[in-house]
Amino acid sequence: MEKTLKAVIFDLDGVICFTDKYHYLAWKQLADRLGIYFDEVINNRLRGVSRMASLEIILERSEKAYSQEEKEAFAEEKNTTYRQLLANMSPADLADEVKNTLDELRARGYLLAIGSSSKNTKFILERIGLPTYFDAIADGTDITHSKPHPEVFLTAASKLGVEPALCAVVEDAKAGIEAAKAGGMVALALHGDAEGCGLEDENLGTFADLLKYLP
């Protein structure tokens, strides 16, 4: 890729670190309490999706209809469980490959940002030892539309002061790739259903492969 790109925006879960197992366990605990079937196949549909939208997917199998107030209470219950599980995270959950690649990108002059629909983004970054590392953070507390809407990435670009066309996005979810393209950004797929989805500009085999595409 040409060096016209000035910034790299990263999804958090599944890219910088992996919190999928904690999401799954927290949703499973809620679903079990409500008597709703939930497994890892259904969980895969929640990738890159907001908390309330994820809850709606889970409630598709419910025989009971719930009020908005009840749904909000369920979402908060899940988040409380999730944050308790996240307390197990530490800097050991940040791979050397990821940290070394981020450092090299910064040395090459790129601005770095997080674009995540998670409202726990700052808490997770603190747990893995990167509380003040990124030049900008756009997360679930900044947006009203979750991916595939481009709002979170456009917000990150705005906070960086960089035109969207000069930003690359690294995503592991197809919804994230769709959001990046909708925002007019370069979309780099890393694992997950982002890889080979047909919308990405490049597929990254590993996180370190970013250094091949961003000179």
pLDDT in tens, 3-40: 589 999 999 988 999 988 899 999 999 999 999 999 99
Please check whether residue 163 is in contact with residue 7, taking contact to mean a CB–CB distance below 8 angstroms: no
Please state, for a pLDDT cut of 90, what percent of the chain lies above it. 81
Is residue 13 among the annotated active site residues? Answer: yes
pLDDT of residue 34: 97
CATH 3.40.50.2020 applies to domain 7-17+93-213:
no
Is residue 11 among the annotated active site residues? Answer: yes
A 10 A CB-CB count for 211 gives: 14
pLDDT of residue 121: 94
pLDDT of residue 50: 80
pLDDT of residue 149: 94
Judge whether 7-17+93-213 and 20-86 match in fold. no
Q: Which of 11, 135, 139, 193 is catalytic?
A: 11
State the pTM of this model.
0.84
pLDDT of residue 62: 95
Hey, which bits of the chain come out as E strands? 7-10, 111-115, 136-138, 167-171, 186-190, 202-204
Domain segments of the chain as ranges: 7-17+93-213, 20-86
Q: Is the pLDDT of residue 1 over 60?
A: no
Residue 49 — pLDDT band, cuts 50, 70, 90?
A: confident
pLDDT of residue 157: 98
> pLDDT per residue over 55-88, tens digit each?
999 999 999 999 999 999 999 999 999 999 999 9
pLDDT of residue 3: 56
20-86 CATH, one of 2.70.98.60, 1.10.150.240, 3.10.450.50, 3.90.950.10? 1.10.150.240
Using CA atoms, how far apart are residues 212 and 171, in angstroms rounded to an integer? 17
> pLDDT per residue over 90-103, tens digit each?
999 999 999 999 99
> pLDDT per residue over 145-194, tens digit each?
988 999 999 999 999 999 999 999 999 999 999 999 999 999 999 988 88
Going from the C-alpha of 94 to that of each of 120, 123, 126, the distances in angstroms are 16, 14, 11
Sign of CA dihedral 138, 144, 146, 150: negative
pLDDT of residue 68: 96
Contacts 24+ apart (CB under 8 A), 158-166: 159/113, 160/7, 160/111, 160/113, 160/135, 160/136, 162/6, 162/7, 162/111, 166/4, 166/5, 166/6, 166/7
pLDDT of residue 185: 98
